[in-house]
């Protein structure tokens, strides 16, 4: 599935759909004819964001398990995700969605340093640390010029880990923990992931966190990746989660 008919792998596929991954309705329409002649065993994507949204839409239409389509925007949109986590009492950095008219004083009250990130997106793309008011103004000006929506959140001190697992029949199973090494501030670029993690002793607490996410987002079956900060006191702060 790609907009480019010459995309790698197209010649090896049984079915090639020339379509943007964002057009989930059109993609499903292309799939309806093959469905007459056989059954799709399951749906999975190796990407994030809108690719996951399309996978969830197709899975729901053919009655296969994945994240409910009605909940997928709660993962893709960081503002919505943070709101769900906050309501559930899941520890996550304090944040503010920046919109037209949001005062700089209100943003600064979160306390520097702050992390500025787009409302949608994944990994560390366009994520930046700002240490003071001047850097905040520079970061906001750059994003406004591009018309991007974004949030700011309080920077969490600690060690960053990635927890990967799978939700099956509503139960989260932790598969791996890895320690993440990032590039220096102000940009957060993944340099490497190291396993086994120094925090394997937190296995049960992280599994419990994954279970709460599965329940809050109504996940029955899906992979689940969590980006977590382990504080100096051993506290866990969830930065993001993606199915």
What is the per-residue pLDDT across 108-126, written as a single tens digit (0 to 9) for each? 889 999 999 888 876 566 7
Please state the rounded mean pLDDT for residues 194-207.
96
Give domain limits for the chain.
Answer: 10-70, 94-154, 159-242
pLDDT in tens, 214-229: 999 999 999 999 999 9
Chain center to CA of 84: 13
On the 0-12 / 13-18 / 19+ scale of CB atoms within 10 A, 91 is: middle
Tally Cβ neighbours within 10 Å of residue 127: 18
> Residue 70: how many CB atoms within 10 A of its CB?
10
- In this prediction the pTM is 0.84
**What are the tokens at 13?**
């596929």
**Structure tokens of 132?**
């003071």
| Residue 169 reports pLDDT greater than 90 | yes
CATH topology (fold) of 94-154: Dna Ligase; domain 1 (3.30.1490)
- Token pair of 86 as six digits: 């906050």
What is the CATH number that goes with domain 159-242?
3.30.470.20
**Each residue of 51-73: pLDDT tens digit?**
889 999 999 998 888 899 999 99
| Residue 145 scores a pLDDT above 50 | no
């Amino acid at each position: 599935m790609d907009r480019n008919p010459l995309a790698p792998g197209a010649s090896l596929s049984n079915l090639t759909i020339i379509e943007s991954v964002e057009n989930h309705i059109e993609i499903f329409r292309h799939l309806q004819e093959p469905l007459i002649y056989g059954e799709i065993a399951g749906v999975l994507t190796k990407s994030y964001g809108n690719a996951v949204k399309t996978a969830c839409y197709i899975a729901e239409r053919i009655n296969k398990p994945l994240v409910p389509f009605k909940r997928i925007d709660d993962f893709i949109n960081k503002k919505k995700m943070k709101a769900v986590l906050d309501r559930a009492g899941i520890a996550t950095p304090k944040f503010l969605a920046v919109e037209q008219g949001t005062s700089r004083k209100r943003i600064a009250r979160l306390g520097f340093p702050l992390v500025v990130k787009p409302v949608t997106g994944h990994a560390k793309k366009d994520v930046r640390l700002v240490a003071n008011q001047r850097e905040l103004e520079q970061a906001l000006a750059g994003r406004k010029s591009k018309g991007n929506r974004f949030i700011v959140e309080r920077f969490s001190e600690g060690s960053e880990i990635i927890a990967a697992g799978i939700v099956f029949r509503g139960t989260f199973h932790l598969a791996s923990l890895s320690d993440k090494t990032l590039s220096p501030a102000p940009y957060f670029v993944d340099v490497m992931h190291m396993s086994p993690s120094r925090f394997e002793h937190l296995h049960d607490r992280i599994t419990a966190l994954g279970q709460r996410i599965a329940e809050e987002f109504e996940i029955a079956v899906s992979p689940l990746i969590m980006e977590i900060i382990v504080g100096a006191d051993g506290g866990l702060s969830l930065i993001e989660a993606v199915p």
